[in-house]
Amino acid sequence: MDQRSSLLDQLRIERSDETAPRSRKAVWWSVGIATVAAVGVATWVVAMPRGVPIKVATAALAPADVVAAPSSILDASGYVVARRQATVSAKITGKVVAVAIEDGQRVERGEVMARLDDTNAQAAVAQARAELEQSKANLIASEVALTNAGPTFQRNEMQFMRAVISAQSFDTAKTAFDASRTSRDVAARAVDVAAARLGLAERNLDDTVVRAPFSGIVTVKAAQEGEMVSPISAGGGFTRTGIGTIVDMRSLEVEVDVSENFINRVHAEQPASVKLNAYPDWSIPARVVAIIPTAERAKATVKVRVAFDAGDPRVLPEMGARVAFLSDANGSASAAGGGASSTQRALLVPEGAVQRNGDTGVVFVVADGSVEKRTVRLGERSAAGQIVLSGLTPGTRVAIGDFARLTDGTAVKIEN
């Protein structure tokens, strides 16, 4: 046991008095460094600015030449329609041998759209022309006979006056002369009849050519070569009733249904603004053409026609549209409608301050270090910025920044 204890004593590590103070000193140094670092981080966090960084713009009155459009007193939805549209068909039944139109093609008045088989019509024209020539020959023969009968009748008349021939002989000569003259008149009328028959045959031949009744755009190509077309065969077998549909793009207008409760706000020649669903940011000047003088009982609405002030190739038939009926040019709304809004001065803000959605938009108003989400009514865009019709007052500060990070009440940090 003594030997084992001796060996264990040899293996024991003896710690000197200097080691312990050195270890405690290193620990205190580590704690001090960590404390200083923590204080620095806390100081930086406290001093760091809070809020989403934004820039600020001020809503100001637009220049005098930038004026909001007359205010809307009524909105209604409808569709673009063509007042002049036709499905062009042939006047006769026949087989199509050529079609000269395609969808989307522009055609002018009188332009050939299709041709039908004209072999029978050509034969009828040739027959009528031959009959006319025969009638003219018969007229010539009757005129020759009348010319020859004239001197004979005059000689017999003189002889009868001198009592050279009997009354019976004179009557026979007179009858022959009258017959020749009547034959000439009948032959002349036969020429007129033959000429009319030729004109009819030529008209039938011309009917084998289908022409555009007015200038416009082909929206539907209905017939193909080899098909039969007929104007009186609707729903009958495989026979077509039309060659194609033409729309006069200059006749496009908007038809809207206005509730009969508000129809008193609309009148003829009233200014309006049309926005197509396909182009929600495009405001098209328009005017009321007519109010159809009848109401639809099922929907309690009255149909109103609205015409564009100027045509545009972007406007197409059957497009959805929204019409804003505006106050009169003098600033007063229709007296019957009870509206009192006048032409108002526009406010102007930078385009970057507005999230636009058609006629309306969203802005974030800056106040007390945060933002307030607000919906505004928008007008046109101008070179100076976005026109705001309502929802803001002059001097209101609006945010310009990352709208995805902004919500109602978000804290913000204003940057220069």
- 3-state SS track over 364-385: EEEECCEEEEEEEEEEEEECCE
Hey, what are 224's tokens?
A: 């193909």
Task: Name which of 275, 265, 381 is nearest 328 in CA terms.
Answer: 265
Residue 274 in contact with residue 69, Cβ under 8 Å?
no
CA 247-252-254 angle, to 5 degrees, is 135
Q: Residue for token digits 């019976």?
A: 168
Q: What is the β-pairing status of strands 52-58 and 412-414?
A: parallel
**CA 20/CA 355 separation, integer angstroms:** 70
Instruction: Give the global pTM.
Output: 0.55
Chain-centroid distance of CA 122 in Å reads: 43
Burial label, 117 (beta-carbon count in 10 A; 0-12, 13-18, 19+): middle
Q: What is the β-pairing status of strands 385-390 and 347-349?
A: antiparallel
| pLDDT in single tens digits along all 416 residues of the chain | 555 566 555 555 555 555 555 556 666 666 667 676 665 655 554 444 567 888 888 888 877 655 545 667 888 999 999 999 998 988 888 899 999 999 989 999 999 999 999 999 999 999 999 999 998 898 888 888 888 777 777 777 788 787 777 888 777 877 887 788 888 888 889 899 999 999 999 999 998 999 999 999 999 898 889 888 888 765 455 677 889 999 999 999 999 999 999 899 899 999 999 999 999 888 899 999 999 999 998 989 999 999 999 888 899 999 999 999 987 644 444 434 444 344 456 788 888 889 888 778 899 999 888 889 998 888 777 777 888 888 888 889 999 988 888 888 888 888 86
> What are the φ and ψ backbone dihedral angles of 14, each rounded to 5 degrees?
-90, 120
Task: Name which of 104, 111, 112 is nearest 249 in CA terms.
Answer: 104
